[in-house]
Amino acid sequence: MGSRWQVEKKKDPYYKRSKEQDYRSRASFKLSQLDKKYKIIKKGTAVVDLGAAPGGWSQVALEKVGEEGIVLGVDLQKIKPFPEKNFHFIRGDFTKPEIQEKIIDIIDGKADVVISDASPQLSGIKDVDHLRSIDLSNSVIEIADNILEKNGNLLIKVFQGEEYKNLIESLRKKFKILKTTKPASSRKKSSEMYVIGLKYR
């Protein structure tokens, strides 16, 4: 199984491109493609990246916000530092209140964009993994409710399943525009979907 995954990875065009373009991961292309279509991150804005390791999304966010913006990454795993001085990192579990307090301190309580490509610890059992994904997504949404500026944007990954529709319906009430999509760089066999909330109410 492990060796087959290694072979598939090396054949993956986005994996190859991430190496060529010096991106931290192939996931960088997911954010690039989604941002190109939905204009999620603007220059000079404050972006919070929840579940940021190894840094693929933070790397793209730094390109988008420029020197005037700020990107804060949060993850249980360490992230290799970026050269940009406007990148900040908190190592910890973003579902914990003490980590959420640190997030608020660094961004002075307000963010323009919250992004999360975080995955729960996978069991290999589809229904269990879906519910874990929903729990993780709800933690991201709770943080967004506390820090998003009015008209701010949200981008999260969610695994499809029984509770997916309920999550979408709850988000429709929070954002003026809500989109669900799967970028070209997302693996076809994956049950992941990306939910974009624009213009937080």
Q: Which residues are catalytic?
A: 157
Judging by DSSP bridges, how do beta strands 192-200 and 148-159 pair with one another? antiparallel
Which amino acid, residue 4? R
Distance CA 28, CA 84 (A): 17
* Max Cα-Cα span within the chain: 47
Two tokens at 173?
Answer: 């009430």
Closest CA to 117 of 101, 100, 94: 94
Label residues 61-92 b or e (16+ Cβ within 10 Å = b).
bbbbbeeebbbbbbbeeebeebebeebbbbee
Two tokens at 36?
Answer: 């190109």
Fill in the DSSP letter of residue 150.
E
Cis omega (within 30 of 0) on the bond before 54? yes
Residue 55 — φ and ψ, nearest 5°? 115, 5
